[in-house]
Homo-oligomer: A and B are copies of this chain.
Amino acid sequence: MDVRTLCLGVLSFGETTGYGIRKAVGDWFGHFAQASLGAIYPALAKAVARGEVEVVGSADMALEKRTFRLTDKGRETLAASTAEASGDETVRSPFLSAMFFAHFLDMDDVNRVFDERLAGLRGEQRRLRSLPSGDMTEGQRFTIRYAMATTTAAIAFMEREGRAMVTAIERERT
């Protein structure tokens, strides 16, 4: 899903600023989509030009706080883009890449990379748990629970098989 659609999507829950969109993406979408400010502002400008988004109140003074609101046309675009959204899930994992080439790492690095990833997963789990699911739609809650299920499974897998894997790599090397 591209940044423009993501912006429209965030605005469908209420008006906010470009900066606010980035925060929302980080907080609510972080586990399946991402967008940086350098992508959000141009996308927002384009959306305004297309009439999908409008600026609330004060017009166009540069470097001033601008609040954006979704228009009816934007709602249409969002509905269409959402229905068309397709394609497989893609994952990029520096951790799994490192593990794949673990035969080039010394055991300290293997352990470090492993521990870092486990800590990252636990942090993600905490973050997901702390999200205020009360004021969410069913669809939103579903994405959180889905992420929770996969994250929990990843943690369980690493706790269960991690140390065995490390010693197996060690053994393999001798």
Contact = CB atoms under 8 A, between A and B. Distances in A.
Interface residues of A, number: 65
- So how many copies of this chain end up in the complex? 2
Contact of A104 (B82, B153, B158): B82
B146 A100 contact: no
A72 interface: no
A88 B151 CA distance: 13
23 contacts: A1-B97, A9-B97, A28-B100, A32-B92, A34-B92, A82-B97, A82-B102, A82-B105, A82-B109, A83-B105, A85-B95, A86-B94, A88-B94, A89-B96, A90-B91, A100-B139, A102-B138, A138-B165, A138-B172, A139-B165, A139-B169, A142-B161, A149-B157
